[in-house]
Amino acid sequence: MRRLGSKRLDKLTVRDVREWLTKLAGTCQCCAQRKDAKRRPERQRCCAKGECCEQYPSGRVVQIARGTLRAAPSQAVVEEEIREALQRLSRGFGQSPPDGPEESAEDS
């Protein structure tokens, strides 16, 4: 996520997140994303001309950003577990089964 910098998710502190959410809520999205500046010069109407349109994110947008940030670590754990499981499976392909007593249907 922008503005959190190169900080790893597992190194974020509560303070970092609070500061980021506060900045997000108080930042004009037209200015931050340079929406007006990307328009052709004759179509520019606000931020590119130095007249901020004050398009601040709604409370719901900030809430969604917070939820996304909260979900990221658990999603990363799930993805890591999947990756590790796939690696274990791929190591098993092409190899003979381990030596040891095999159970037959009669033994059970």
Domain boundaries, the chain: 16-90
pLDDT of residue 104: 54
Please give the average per-residue pLDDT across 82-91, as a whole number: 86
What is the DSSP code (8-state) at residue 50?
A: T
The encoded tokens of residue 14 equal 């509560």
Q: Is 33 exposed, middle or buried (0-12, 13-18, 19+ CB in 10 A)?
A: middle
Q: Check residues 11 and 20 and name the one with the higher pLDDT.
A: 20
Distances (CA, A) of 39 to 30, 49, 57: 11, 11, 21
Q: Give residue-wise pLDDT tens across range 46-68.
A: 999 999 999 999 999 999 999 98
Q: For residue 22, is pLDDT > 90?
A: yes
Please say whether the beta carbons of 30 and 47 come within 8 A. Answer: yes
Please say whether the beta carbons of 20 and 28 come within 8 A. Answer: no
pLDDT of residue 88: 85
pLDDT of residue 69: 85
Q: Check residues 29 and 88 and name the one with the higher pLDDT.
A: 29
Question: How far is 67 from 75, CA to CA, in rounded Å?
Answer: 12
Percent of the chain surpassing pLDDT 70: 82
